[in-house]
Chains A and B, each alone.
Chain A
Amino acid sequence: DTGVSQDPRHKITKRGQNVTFRCDPISEHNRLYWYRQTLGQGPEFLTYFQNEAQLEKSRLLSDRFSAERPKGSFSTLEIQRTEQGDSAMYLCASSLRQGASTDTQYFGPGTRLTVL
């Protein structure tokens, strides 16, 4: 169990540029989540995958955001035409769905995005 990893850890970009983040979940975890955390706030849910299927997207996820999880393994989160308001920490988490009870989400270190 090597934990959830995210790449890059930090990204500085200019407004209007596209950025892509990668998340590698704990192996064999079938669920993967993306959250966004702004300064002084708790993480906010963006989207989640069960295997390769994206099952829910928050209203926070505008049409400039797209997430994929090909083959149910790693996931990417792309932001097109970045805006200064996109500056935040983007957190990825994964969990193993077992039965009907809730599963524990394990978080990665996050990608801190700064849009200039």
Chain B
Amino acid sequence: AQSVTQLGSHVSVSEGALVLLRCNYSSSVPPYLFWYVQYPNQGLQLLLKYTSAATLVKGINGFEAEFKKSETSFHLTKPSAHMSDAAEYFCAVSDQSGGSNYKLTFGKGTLLTVNP
């Protein structure tokens, strides 16, 4: 069974500082990986996805993530935080085995706070 672990339920950074949100996955086969962002009382918006092409994936709003198979990680980064980045971020994995490539398994999320 696949799983996702997001280290740190709450990350706080200063405006302009580096954002690093950690995600480790467990999957029996190379997975597809996603980062979603959720603003209060809203649904999830896709930031970026990894689908076995380039290991460094660029997304919207200046975010990017790097797939590292040896570390089973897919950490999300942004060089300079903006106040509008304050939200909850979810890492998700889609298993590519057994025809189950429709079901997303999510981590518990990381709440990002940006301080002025």
Contact = CB atoms under 8 A, between A and B. Distances in A.
A107 B43 contact: yes
B41 to A, nearest CB: 7
Interface string A46-65: 00100000001000000000
A4 interface: yes
A91 B43 contact: yes
Contacts of A100: 101
Q: Which of A31, A42, A45, A107 has the most CB of B within 10 A?
A: A42
Contact of B96 (A33, A35, A42, A102): A102
B68 to A, nearest CB: 20
B109 A105 contact: no
A104 B102 CA distance: 9
Interface residues of B, number: 26
Interface string A81-116: 000000000010101010011111111111010000
A41 B106 CA distance: 9
Contact of A108 (B43, B49, B94): B43
Interface residues of A, number: 29
Interface string B3-42: 0100001000000000000000000000010101000011
Given A102-B32, A107-B36, A44 B49 contact: no
B103 A48 contact: yes
The list of the 3 closest CB pairs from A to B, nearest first, reads A42-B106, A107-B43, A107-B44
Interface of B: 4, 9, 32, 34, 36, 41-46, 49, 51, 90, 92, 94, 96, 101-109
16 contacts: A35-B104, A41-B108, A42-B4, A43-B90, A45-B104, A56-B102, A91-B44, A101-B101, A102-B102, A103-B102, A105-B46, A107-B43, A107-B45, A109-B41, A110-B41, A110-B43
Interface of A: 4, 6, 31, 33, 35, 40-45, 48, 56, 91, 93, 95, 97, 100-110, 112
Given A102-B101, A103-B102, 11 more contacts: A4-B43, A31-B102, A42-B4, A43-B90, A45-B105, A101-B101, A104-B34, A104-B46, A105-B104, A109-B41, A110-B42
